[in-house]
Amino acid sequence: MLLVGDAAILVETWLGEGFYHAVASGRMAAEAIILSERENREDLSYYSNLIHSAFNPQFTSARKLSLGVNLLPLINVLVLSSSPTLQQMIIDLLRGETSPTQIWERLKREFPSLTWNILMGK
């Protein structure tokens, strides 16, 4: 038995989005079943490997973003309200134009300049 989508707890923790993960994991489950039939084996661990490599980096980044936003909500509201760059990053994430991993990597890269701009009121 292979679990997909919500049944496999493939829901992104920050936004709660899961439709993409349900469809993608369904496709991956089908691939794993076809491969196991083709190679005449009962082992479906290939599916677990596909899921892990496809979603783990995104879910890890989403958890970090969620923790950062939810840990200090008042500070985050103040920071977001004073940073057009951060606002655009969140909008891009909500539109699906960027991923949690891309946001997290960008925040790590640009943290000093973002912090400076916020402190200087830019």
Give pLDDT, residue 122.
67
30-41 tens-digit pLDDT: 999 999 999 998
Q: 1-5, 104-108, 116-120 — which is least confidently predicted?
A: 116-120
Q: Break the chain into its structural domains and give their ranges.
A: 1-56, 72-122
Closest Cα to residue 17, out of 68, 93, 72? Answer: 93
6 DSSP 8-state letter? G
Q: Please report, in angstroms and rounded to a whole number, the separation of the first and last CA atoms in the chain.
A: 54
Do 108 and 69 contact (CB within 8 A), yes or no?
no
Do 28 and 36 contact (CB within 8 A), yes or no?
no
51-82 tens-digit pLDDT: 999 888 888 888 888 887 788 788 888 888 88
Name the band, by pLDDT with cuts 50, 70 and 90, for residue 105: very high
CA–CA gap between residue 120 and residue 122 (Å, rounded): 6
